[in-house]
Structure 1
């Protein structure tokens, strides 16, 4: 018999663990946002960094702190809350493992951040060899990954406990989604852990003189592309499950949501070569194979878009909407919990189109290593994902702290979302346009100040600075809202919205819970896509014991 584990409220002990993750995440938002503001100001050519601070130093801070720290801490906290709500309160043992993971991640974050701030690790977000950082930086990154595995173990243990208590029943949808993302993250981070522990850490300690750069970059992108879906799937969790409840509608299909997440697990990992289309040492046939696998990820993305807009239209029609787009008028546009994530959904449409360009061999050659790619990232993770995270925070933080989202905070949240949309339109739009003109990625404007072509980029660099300034104002406003909801908002009860499927008689097929099958297929796809290319990269490495000789 199915035992209902849906809690009315997340247990206060679990809430403390979740909020600890959120505190680190929002501190990272402030630090990374400030670094991003300085970065776009420098790129405008109108500003110089003070006190000997290096451009690549703040570029590394911005990428690592926002791309890795903010996202990982927020996602882990959000998933812990989702599992505690839908699968039941964590046991003391499970919660202890979660706390251990949190502190390991935090110690690793501080270690890596200190090295970046000391200018001992200005190796950018991708930390490619032959750029070399202090060994403490690599050790810190390793601790962040290992700590995340511990937090993920908490989720896995709770899922296993729920399945034992409810044999033959599909797990709660939110718990299922959190588990899929945790498994994808665990499999993907094996790549980055391998390159850091086996290659970069011994090299930075002076234990080896050389490193195979081709293998290092391949291991990074084995991790780097599923990292994008690790960011995205928690946003999908909110879109699929929470947004329908917020608007007063129903989840279009429980089974369709589960299938889309399984497809992301299968197809998000063996696709890293589409980030390496212009790199030597990889046979074009294997690049083509992974490009094909990359385009398969479009399928669950389109399934998600269909499901979401079917939910919106069904709700609108139920409220009496007529005409082709009449249902849009029925959506709760004055509710920041809906509107801010919806802006993120809209941003994901051009973001997805840009992703198709990046993954297409011929078109990729036009935009490869230009600021177009940076603009794409800012539409995906920095708009679609981050705005959804903000929208989640508006109800989850007061839910966890026993407070209320007031009308004033809701209004400020709407303003924050609109500011973000305006700022990102300026910044990301200018990045895409400048990229088409050949403006380089990662480089400061001053490095190209004497080039004739650089004159074409000036208006776009200034537009980036304008957009970045607006975004920083939105960050300050978001931090004010977060602090208010965490510490000062009136005491009360804020709903944790969990939607119900439109078809209550529908039972998700139990094949979705067959992890031997799905993980087995995932491993086979990875081995198929990477085994021979890895052998080639090692066997045909350039002169030197391990690859490129580094001086």
Structure 2
């Protein structure tokens, strides 16, 4: 068999590489989820941390392990499996580079996590200056990024190999989507790598006395906003390509799916200023420009919603559905592979609406730095994305391990998703409401003590604690299912579902495969949105902030 030929099953050697990433991801879920439980209990004022553990220590553990480690390892593991399934078995060289990337990321994770657990790096998920961590923390983060670059190179090489062997042909849709998300990650991580290597690390090592804080925050959010789409696009891969096969329908439009991914690549990176709307030092005109670019990301999101619900309706009609919403009853509500991601899709409706509030210059003034933002974050990442990841795991892990999703585990998975939805309704809902009352993010009950302000927030903090406790039960259920599917489920063949194109769909144009155009446009937009503001930040830095000779 040709090493790049397309198969219906992921090669066992590639499966081991994917599973290694999943093991780290679910360990991060267990530890980060427990830290999250402690966090909401402390915030409610009903619990005090023992053994000298600090609130910001568990907050950092929760944010870093779930926001960075769980997501990055899961996405890379999923994308390796997707490339192997659709573009063909990885070459020996690509697989070796993938393993080197995995161990580099794992070493970096261990280094960073150790510093956080030792309370030497309680700098939160965003690690803003002037908060400062131990140098080993920054070295660990650097290794995670470098390892992800190696894995990205391995994936891209497999795609390039497919293109060489199939000149003039449109690449498999899932492989194309992996390439877009990988390119987004490579471009975005340049920002965080720059601030860590050239600002944070020298400062923590004592090589410099100060850094330009505004430049540091700008570089972080150059990375921080596209990071959201790095999380989201693998969920979109499942929605566009996998869900149609699971329900027995057809992919609505290959061209529309590719265009939506290209638009995410173009418009998700040059928009970091909308996280910095209240910060001085950035000209309002440039903030306004990036707010406009941020709102343009709504277009591919609406395209995705149109495509998904169009596919659902077409499927329902083919099964005899009548009326405006008759198709809804025809969907496979007993199949966890569909139900779990579908709940994530539905959650993205209020999550997207909240995102519009965050990105609006006027409305952002109301909720900026309040716990509303945390609630929004938990609707997007911790519900839409994570539930879809769980849905992927419920068929991909048994596919990779040569086992099957039993009826018992399928039922437990649906229960888990319902538990998650209930818990998140309590927790995220309470966060949104408390945020509208001005409750700040990243704060504990002890920050305000018995003041009237703190007393007014108590009902919402208790709601967060209730929701967080229910979510932790959901995490326990996920871990039970993961362990079962990895080691104890019956041996068998579990499908890696790849949807087929609808017969009436238009032919996909080859322009989508012209990466010179799309990468070039991405670079132009980034330079247009950041060059002048960045120069201004350096030239007009306030006294005492130019400690590092370059910035």
Name the TM tier (shorter chain). Answer: over 0.9
Corresponding residue of 1:163: 163
Corresponding residue of 2:336: 336
Q: TM-score, normalised by structure 1?
A: 0.98
Corresponding residue of 1:35: 35
Deviations 1:466-496 (A, max 9, x none): 0000000000010000000000000000000
Q: Residues 20-59 of structure 1 correspond to what in structure 2 (within 5 A)?
A: 20-59=20-59
CA distance in 2, matches of 1:219, 1:450: 38
Once the two structures are TM-superposed, the CA of residue 449 in structure 1 deviates from its matched residue by 2.0
CA distance in 2, matches of 1:484, 1:542: 57
The 8 Å contact of residues 264 and 297 in structure 2, kept in 1 or not, is answered as yes
Once the two structures are TM-superposed, the CA of residue 6 in structure 1 deviates from its matched residue by 2.7
Corresponding residue of 1:82: 82
CA distance in 2, matches of 1:95, 1:364: 45
CA distance in 2, matches of 1:222, 1:31: 28
Seen in structure 2, the aligned counterparts of structure 1 residues 9 and 492 have a Cα distance that, compared at 3 Å, is same
The 8 Å contact of residues 541 and 547 in structure 1, kept in 2 or not, is answered as no
452-461 or 526-535, which deviates more: 452-461
Once the two structures are TM-superposed, the CA of residue 213 in structure 1 deviates from its matched residue by 0.2
CA distance in 1, matches of 2:445, 2:168: 60
Deviations 1:349-384 (A, max 9, x none): 000000000000110000000000000000000000
Corresponding residue of 1:71: 71
Corresponding residue of 2:286: 286
The 8 Å contact of residues 98 and 150 in structure 2, kept in 1 or not, is answered as yes
CA distance in 2, matches of 1:21, 1:545: 40
Once the two structures are TM-superposed, the CA of residue 545 in structure 1 deviates from its matched residue by 5.6
Once the two structures are TM-superposed, the CA of residue 47 in structure 1 deviates from its matched residue by 0.5
Matched, 1:382 2:382: yes
Q: Residues 387-402 of structure 1 correspond to what in structure 2 (within 5 A)?
A: 387-402=387-402
Deviations 1:242-288 (A, max 9, x none): 00000000000000000000000000000000000000100000000
Matched, 1:352 2:352: yes
CA distance in 1, matches of 2:88, 2:345: 30
Deviations 1:28-69 (A, max 9, x none): 000000000000000001100011000000000000000000
CA distance in 1, matches of 2:172, 2:336: 26
Once the two structures are TM-superposed, the CA of residue 8 in structure 1 deviates from its matched residue by 1.4
CA distance in 2, matches of 1:139, 1:262: 33
Corresponding residue of 1:539: 539
Corresponding residue of 2:297: 297
Gaps of 5+ in 1: none
CA distance in 1, matches of 2:260, 2:14: 28
CA distance in 1, matches of 2:505, 2:536: 52
Matched, 1:469 2:469: yes
Deviations 1:312-360 (A, max 9, x none): 0000000000011010000000100000100000000000000000000
The 8 Å contact of residues 39 and 58 in structure 2, kept in 1 or not, is answered as yes
The 8 Å contact of residues 253 and 503 in structure 1, kept in 2 or not, is answered as no
Corresponding residue of 1:119: 119
Once the two structures are TM-superposed, the CA of residue 504 in structure 1 deviates from its matched residue by 6.8
CA distance in 1, matches of 2:432, 2:262: 32
Once the two structures are TM-superposed, the CA of residue 4 in structure 1 deviates from its matched residue by 9.0
Once the two structures are TM-superposed, the CA of residue 505 in structure 1 deviates from its matched residue by 6.9
CA distance in 1, matches of 2:6, 2:153: 21
CA distance in 2, matches of 1:509, 1:326: 34
Corresponding residue of 1:107: 107
CA distance in 1, matches of 2:122, 2:217: 17
CA distance in 2, matches of 1:109, 1:292: 36
Deviations 1:383-436 (A, max 9, x none): 000000000000000000000100000000000000000000000000000000
Corresponding residue of 2:493: 493
**SS at structure 1 position matched to 2:452:** coil
Once the two structures are TM-superposed, the CA of residue 520 in structure 1 deviates from its matched residue by 0.5
Corresponding residue of 1:371: 371
Q: TM-score, normalised by structure 2?
A: 0.98
CA distance in 1, matches of 2:431, 2:43: 11
Deviations 1:106-136 (A, max 9, x none): 0000000000000000000000000000000
Matched, 1:261 2:264: no
Once the two structures are TM-superposed, the CA of residue 503 in structure 1 deviates from its matched residue by 2.7
Corresponding residue of 2:315: 315
CA distance in 2, matches of 1:131, 1:7: 49
**SS at structure 1 position matched to 2:133:** coil
CA distance in 2, matches of 1:202, 1:292: 35
Matched, 1:211 2:196: no
CA distance in 2, matches of 1:261, 1:451: 48
Deviations 1:134-190 (A, max 9, x none): 000000000000000000011100010000000011110000000000000000000
Corresponding residue of 2:225: 225
The 8 Å contact of residues 102 and 147 in structure 1, kept in 2 or not, is answered as yes
CA distance in 1, matches of 2:380, 2:183: 22
Once the two structures are TM-superposed, the CA of residue 450 in structure 1 deviates from its matched residue by 2.9
The 8 Å contact of residues 173 and 254 in structure 2, kept in 1 or not, is answered as yes
CA distance in 1, matches of 2:444, 2:312: 43
**SS at structure 2 position matched to 1:446:** helix
The 8 Å contact of residues 253 and 307 in structure 2, kept in 1 or not, is answered as yes
CA distance in 1, matches of 2:163, 2:403: 33
The 8 Å contact of residues 10 and 89 in structure 1, kept in 2 or not, is answered as yes
Corresponding residue of 1:448: 448
Once the two structures are TM-superposed, the CA of residue 451 in structure 1 deviates from its matched residue by 2.4
Gaps of 5+ in 2: none
CA RMSD between the two structures: 1.4
**SS at structure 2 position matched to 1:281:** coil
**SS at structure 1 position matched to 2:9:** coil
The 8 Å contact of residues 213 and 547 in structure 1, kept in 2 or not, is answered as no
**SS at structure 2 position matched to 1:211:** coil
The 8 Å contact of residues 420 and 474 in structure 2, kept in 1 or not, is answered as yes
The 8 Å contact of residues 21 and 74 in structure 1, kept in 2 or not, is answered as yes
